[in-house]
């Protein structure tokens, strides 16, 4: 039973008693958390635990001593369980308290906003409204119409018949031969002229679509296009309107030039350039060394367009201009990749939330 054969049975029992009692007390008291406490429990009451083994030993004890031996082991077990239960209760309360402390919620703190704040207009919307506001202040009315457009309104009436090479240049999305996603908002002006007689001063604006994708093109972008038709409308008037528009938008010091160009729907046609804001006209990487940056297209409405909308070109004249909202925003805020507007990078967009 026990290698300590020199001791009397009573002594053996006494030894079990005092040694094990002390051990039980020391080990249970030393347990710092529930995990350690469980280890102590296994050490004494597990399959090979001290008390378990003592209990098993009972079969080797002479019959007349069994009663006393059994009672001793039983006392040990009871001692263990009493201390263990108290300890367990204390540790559980401690654990609960610390969990509660760790996850304490202060309901008086302001809600987490994750830095998002309130919603704000996208920079393109701001630029779009700014351009429209300037034109509205000069007396223009804002019109819009459908985005899925007939080829007649998008091309033919604008002096681009089926074989006109400019149709290709528009990188059109076709539904069929006669139906397209509008490639510019000039189609809206055709619809407006067919329904209204001069004088008119309108801005057509909204989404337009071209199959193109790089740093300065996205398949969808926004245009703001003006049209004035009246008796005696002149190129000088057009220049005045465009000067007012561009210098209000970019600043009064902006230098402009009108450069002769070509559009099927205007004659004469011009492109408006702005002195490069980076080098102020001396030539740099941004303006490709020319000193000038192209801002918009414009011109006097072509007689062919008037014929298509039944306006008498001997009585009326008109001017038109068109610009991309994204391009205007890029120029104003020195952004070199148009796609940034659509990536929805919060840090990028947040620069203009004010």
User: Which residues here bind ligand PHE, judged by CB under 6 A?
Assistant: 184, 186, 225, 263, 266, 297-299, 320-322
Which residue's Cβ has the minimum distance to ligand PHE? 322
Integer-rounded Cα radius of gyration of the chain: 44
Please say which residue, 92 or 212, places its beta carbon nearer to ligand PHE: 212
CB of 149 to ligand PHE, least distance (A): 13
Please say which residue, 12 or 327, places its beta carbon nearer to ligand PHE: 327
Q: Report strand pairing: 141-143 vs 200-209.
A: parallel
CB of 186 to ligand PHE, least distance (A): 4
- 209 contacts: CB under 8 Å, gap ≥ 6: 147, 173, 181, 182, 183, 219, 220
Q: In a 10 Å sphere around its CB, with 0-12 CB exposed, 13-18 middle and 19+ buried, how is residue 13 labelled? A: middle
CB of 287 to ligand PHE, least distance (A): 21
Please say which residue, 27 or 225, places its beta carbon nearer to ligand PHE: 225
Please say which residue, 49 or 150, places its beta carbon nearer to ligand PHE: 150
CB of 115 to ligand PHE, least distance (A): 39
CB of 223 to ligand PHE, least distance (A): 6
Please say which residue, 20 or 186, places its beta carbon nearer to ligand PHE: 186
- The Cα 259–Cα 270 span in angstroms is 5
- The Cα 254–Cα 273 span in angstroms is 10
CB of 242 to ligand PHE, least distance (A): 11
| Count of C-beta atoms within a 10 Å radius of residue 173 | 16
- The Cα 108–Cα 60 span in angstroms is 68
- The Cα 30–Cα 84 span in angstroms is 11
Q: Quick one: which H or E segment has residue 263? A: strand 256-263
Please say which residue, 262 or 346, places its beta carbon nearer to ligand PHE: 262
Residue 279 in tokens:
């080098």
């Amino acid at each position: 039973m026990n290698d300590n054969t020199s001791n009397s049975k009573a002594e053996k029992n006494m030894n079990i008693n005092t040694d094990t009692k002390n051990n039980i007390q020391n080990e249970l008291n030393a347990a710092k958390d529930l995990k350690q406490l469980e280890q102590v429990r296994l050490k004494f009451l597990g399959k090979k635990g001290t008390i378990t083994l003592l209990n098993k030993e009972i079969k080797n004890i002479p019959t007349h001593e069994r009663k006393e031996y059994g009672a001793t082991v039983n006392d040990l077990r009871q001692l263990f369980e009493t201390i263990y239960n108290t300890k367990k209760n204390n540790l559980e309360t401690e654990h609960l308290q610390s969990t509660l402390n760790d996850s304490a919620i202060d309901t008086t703190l302001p809600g987490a906003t994750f830095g998002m704040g309130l919603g704000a207009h996208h920079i393109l919307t701001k630029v779009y409204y700014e351009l429209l506001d300037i034109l509205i202040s000069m007396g223009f009315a804002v019109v819009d119409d459908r985005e899925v457009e007939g080829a007649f309104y998008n091309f033919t009436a604008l002096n681009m018949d089926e074989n006109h090479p400019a149709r290709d240049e528009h990188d059109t999305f076709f539904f069929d031969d006669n139906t397209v996603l509008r490639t510019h908002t000039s189609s809206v002006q055709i619809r407006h002229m067919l329904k209204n007689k001069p004088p008119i001063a309108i801005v057509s604006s909204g989404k337009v679509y071209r199959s193109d994708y790089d740093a300065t093109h996205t398949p969808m972008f926004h245009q703001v296009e003006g049209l004035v038709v009246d008796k005696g409308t002149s190129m000088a008037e057009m220049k005045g309107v465009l000067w007012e528009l561009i210098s209000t938008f970019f600043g009064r010091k902006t230098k402009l030039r009108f450069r002769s160009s070509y559009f099927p729907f205007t004659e004469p046609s011009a492109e408006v350039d702005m002195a490069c804001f980076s080098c102020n006209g001396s030539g740099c990487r941004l303006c490709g060394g020319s000193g000038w940056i192209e801002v918009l297209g414009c011109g006097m409405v072509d007689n062919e367009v008037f014929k298509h909308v039944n306006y008498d070109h001997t009585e009326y004249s008109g001017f038109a201009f068109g610009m991309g909202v994204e391009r205007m925003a890029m120029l104003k805020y020195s952004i070199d990749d148009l796609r940034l507007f659509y990536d929805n990078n919060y840090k990028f967009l947040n620069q203009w939330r004010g």
